[in-house]
Structure 1
C-alpha cells in the first residue's frame, strides 16, 4: 500500500515521503500510531500544497542539518568494551553507546537517528547519522578491548601452560624410550648367564 509519512522513520523514509509498505505494517502500525496516512489522490494534493508553502522552512531545516553534519566531519569514535579471549564482546556496541561517546566530544546526537549494525567483535565499523534526508554523515567507530592487559596476561599464561605441557610430553616420551631400551639390554644378558653353567 502507498502511504505518506508524517515523521522520519529510519530505514523506511523521511517526513512527507510517499512510500510503499506491506498492508499489515501500514494498517496495523503506521497509520494507527499516527506515523503515516494513506496516499490518496486528495492527500497527495494537500501534501504538494504544503510542500510548496514549506519550501523556505525545509531549506532552513536542511541548512541546520548541514551545520550539525559539519561538526561531525572529522569525528571518530573509540569505544572500549570488555572482550573475551577470542575477540568477541560481552554484549554488543549499540547506537546509544555511539551517541554517548559523541556527547562526550561535545556533539549531541539523538541515538534514534544513528543507524549501525550491532557490533559484537573488536574492529572498525561505520555508524551513519541521518540528520536530514539529504544530509547523512558516516562516523568511524573503533571498538577496542577494555581489558587488553588482562587478555595479554591470559594469552601469555596459556602460552606458558602449552609450553610446559609440551615439555612434559617430551620428557614422558624420552622416559618411555629409555624404558623400552632397558629391557632389551636385560634380554641380551640373560642367555649368557644361562650358558655359563653349561660350560662347567
Structure 2
C-alpha cells in the first residue's frame, strides 16, 4: 500500500515521503496512529501545500539532532565488570549496560540509538556510534575496566 508519511519514521523515511509498506502495517499502525495518510491525489495536493511546513520541521529536527550530537561527541563512560585471569569478561557489556552508565551521567538515550554491533566481551576502550538522526552519528567512548577485587 502506498502512503504519505506525516512524521519522520527512522525505518521508512522522512516526513512527506511517499513510501510503499505492507497493507497490514499501514492499516494497523501507520494510519490509526496518524503517522501516514493514504496516497491519493487529494492527499498529494495537500502535501504540496504543506511542503514548506514539512521542510521547516525537517530543518528543526536536523538542527536539534546536530545540537545533541555536539553534546554527545566526546562523552565517555566507564563500566566495571568481573574478569577472568585472561582479562576476558565473565558476562558481556550490552546496550543496556551502556545506557545505564550514561544515565548515571545524566545522558538519556534510547536503546535503538546506540549502534553496538555485538556485545563487548573484553576489557579496553571502545568507540561506539550513536544514531541521533539520519546521517548524524557522533561517537561515545566506553571504557571497560576490571572490577576491584575485595581483599579478605
* TM-score, shorter chain, exceeding 0.5: yes
**Contact 1:114/1:128 (<8 A) preserved:** yes
**Contact 1:6/1:34 (<8 A) preserved:** yes
Count residues with an aligned counterpart.
147
Structure ranking higher in helix proportion: 1
**Contact 2:4/2:36 (<8 A) preserved:** yes
Unpaired runs of 5+ residues, structure 1, are 151-200
Tell me how far apart the structure 1 counterparts of residues 85 and 20 of structure 2 sit (CA, whole Å). Answer: 46
Deviations 1:52-71 (A, max 9, x none): 13544443332222111111
CA RMSD of aligned residues (A): 3.6
Tell me how far apart the structure 2 counterparts of residues 114 and 7 of structure 1 sit (CA, whole Å). Answer: 22
Tell me how far apart the structure 2 counterparts of residues 93 and 4 of structure 1 sit (CA, whole Å). Answer: 36
In the alignment, what sits opposite 2:130?
128
- For the pair shown, which has the larger CA radius of gyration, 1 or 2? 1
In the alignment, what sits opposite 1:183?
none
Deviations 1:32-65 (A, max 9, x none): 3433333333323322322313544443332222
Higher RCO (CA-CA < 8 Å; seq separation 6+):
2
* TM-score between both structures, scaled by the size of structure 2: 0.64
**1:97 Cα deviation after fit:** 3.7
**Contact 1:122/1:145 (<8 A) preserved:** no
In the alignment, what sits opposite 1:99?
99
**Contact 1:92/1:118 (<8 A) preserved:** no
Unpaired runs of 5+ residues, structure 2, are none
**Contact 2:115/2:129 (<8 A) preserved:** yes
Q: How does 1:185-196 map to 2 (within 5 A)?
A: none
Gap change, CA 1:19 and 1:57, over 3 Å in 2: closer
Tell me how far apart the structure 2 counterparts of residues 89 and 13 of structure 1 sit (CA, whole Å). Answer: 40
Tell me how far apart the structure 2 counterparts of residues 25 and 85 of structure 1 sit (CA, whole Å). Answer: 50
